[in-house]
């Protein structure tokens, strides 16, 4: 279906600062890196030293904090613009926020004691649930306000129920991981019949991770391929890059690189490589100096003609 066959009254104004490519990509960058690191942690947790595991866990935590904060800001912006917004932009804001929450659950599986040890995550996630709930209610109200001639082209009742079901599932998943993935020394022992997730075998941890992995994959599909199908509802294209998109993307990229740089102590690695390069350069220079001195010594022992014949 193409936009020209939709009634003109059903077309919605574009808002690239809400759902432009740069905004959608900004959340996926730290999320994608966090997913990769989570998989590495699960596979190698019994094969690498504790310091490497600690660095991977810290990187997942920092990246998740960055994208969760970004998601909360985007939801706050969507809520502040609710009187002038529409269901199209609200559904994609909710999808991006949902992916962030699933990433939080994935990170909580990787890091034991996430909600008790990393204090930022708990209030941030509570704030996310509150503002997401408010935006969900607003999205439902926006769908109900769609005119009869446009309702056939908008979200169905089944889609809305599925979004509410996903929201409830996120809450339950977060609660489950908070209870069952704790440190051995934690006093937070509400239920003890199931051992902490950190003691499970890798294959069982992978099974637990399948749900957030699947949800994140669906969220990626909605953010890009599904968006390309849905943008027929827009009166104008959102493909043009705006200042808001560029600033958001730069903020997230620079933040992600900085977090990885500090967590994995890249300063020390760079200093070591620079020192090694200077040492190699010095050895090369010393070797050239020795060769030059030998040539000069040879020149002193030979006459100029024989020296020229040796060189040429």
Structure token pair of residue 92? 């994609």
| Model pLDDT for residues 90-143, shown as the tens digit of each residue | 999 999 888 888 888 888 887 776 666 666 667 777 888 899 999 999 999 999
* Better-predicted residue by pLDDT, 296 or 72: 72
Q: Which of 219, 226, 181 is nearest to 200 (CA)?
A: 181
Q: Which of 189, 209, 153, 193 is nearest to 38 (CA)?
A: 209
* Better-predicted residue by pLDDT, 217 or 283: 217
| Model pLDDT for residues 210-219, shown as the tens digit of each residue | 889 899 999 9
Handedness of CA 60, 65, 67, 72 (dihedral sign): positive
Average pLDDT over residues 36-62: 82
What is the rounded CA–CA span in Å between residue 125 and residue 171?
10
What is the rounded CA–CA span in Å between residue 85 and residue 278?
58
* Better-predicted residue by pLDDT, 301 or 109: 109
Please classify residue 83 by burial: count the beta carbons closer than 10 Å to its beta carbon, then call 0-12 exposed, 13-18 middle and 19+ buried.
Answer: exposed
Q: In this model, does residue 224 exceed pLDDT 90?
A: yes
Q: Give the E-state strand segments of the chain in sequence order.
A: none
The reported pLDDT for the residue numbered 164 is 92
Going from N- to C-terminal start, the domains of the chain cover 14-264, 270-311
The reported pLDDT for the residue numbered 165 is 92
pTM of the model: 0.76
The reported pLDDT for the residue numbered 185 is 47
The reported pLDDT for the residue numbered 52 is 82
Average pLDDT over residues 260-275: 75
- pLDDT cut 90: percent of the chain above it: 19
What is the rounded CA–CA span in Å between residue 48 and residue 118?
23
What is the rounded CA–CA span in Å between residue 75 and residue 77?
5
Q: Which of 200, 202, 131, 129 is nearest to 167 (CA)?
A: 129
Q: What is the mean pLDDT of the chain?
A: 81
pLDDT category at 81 given cuts 50, 70, 90 is confident
The reported pLDDT for the residue numbered 140 is 92
Structure token pair of residue 217? 């994959």
What is the rounded CA–CA span in Å between residue 204 and residue 197?
9
What is the rounded CA–CA span in Å between residue 220 and residue 7?
29
Handedness of CA 282, 286, 289, 295 (dihedral sign): negative
Which region among 12-16, 21-25, 101-105, 301-305 has the lowest average model confidence (pLDDT)? 301-305
**Which residues have CB under 8 Å from 265's CB, separation 6+?**
55
Structure token pair of residue 292? 């030059």
Question: Within 10 A of 128 (CB to CB), how many other CB atoms are there?
Answer: 23
Q: Which of 132, 134, 133, 160 is nearest to 146 (CA)?
A: 160
Q: Which of 27, 22, 177 is nearest to 100 (CA)?
A: 27
Q: In this model, does residue 266 exceed pLDDT 80?
A: no
* Better-predicted residue by pLDDT, 63 or 292: 63
The reported pLDDT for the residue numbered 1 is 39
Residue 12's DSSP bridge partners are 234
The reported pLDDT for the residue numbered 274 is 75
Q: Which of 55-64, 234-243, 257-266 has the highest mean pLDDT?
A: 234-243
Angle at 191 between CA 186 and CA 196, to 5 degrees: 55
């Amino acid at each position: 279906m193409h936009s020209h066959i939709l009634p003109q009254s059903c077309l919605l104004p574009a808002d690239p600062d809400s759902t432009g490519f740069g905004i959608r990509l900004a959340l996926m960058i730290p999320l994608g890196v966090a997913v990769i690191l989570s998989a590495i942690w699960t596979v190698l947790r019994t094969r690498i030293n504790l310091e490497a595991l600690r660095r991977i866990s810290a990187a997942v935590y920092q990246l998740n904090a960055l994208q969760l904060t970004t998601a909360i800001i985007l939801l706050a912006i969507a809520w502040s613009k609710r009187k002038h917004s529409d269901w199209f932009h609200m559904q994609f804001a909710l999808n991006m926020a949902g992916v962030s929450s699933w990433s939080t659950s994935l990170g909580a599986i990787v890091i034991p004691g996430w909600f008790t040890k990393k204090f930022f995550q708990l209030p941030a996630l509570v704030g996310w649930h509150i503002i997401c709930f408010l935006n969900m209610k607003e999205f439902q109200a926006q769908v109900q306000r769609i005119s009869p001639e446009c309702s056939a082209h908008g979200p169905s009742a089944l889609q809305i129920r599925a979004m509410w079901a996903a929201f409830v599932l996120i809450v339950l998943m977060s609660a489950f991981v908070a209870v069952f993935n704790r440190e051995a020394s934690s006093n937070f022992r509400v239920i003890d019949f199931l051992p902490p997730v950190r003691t499970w075998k890798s294959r069982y941890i992978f099974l637990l991770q399948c749900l957030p992995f699947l949800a994140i994959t669906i969220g990626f599909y909605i953010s890009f391929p599904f968006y390309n199908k849905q943008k027929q509802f827009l009166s104008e294209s959102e493909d043009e890059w705006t200042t808001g998109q560029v600033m958001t993307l730069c903020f997230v990229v620079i933040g992600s690189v900085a977090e990885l740089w500090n967590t994995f102590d890249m300063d020390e690695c760079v200093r070591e490589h620079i020192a090694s390069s200077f040492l190699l350069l010095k050895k090369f220079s010393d070797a050239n100096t020795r060769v030059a001195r030998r040539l000069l010594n040879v020149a002193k022992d030979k006459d100029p003609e024989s020296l020229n014949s040796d060189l040429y």
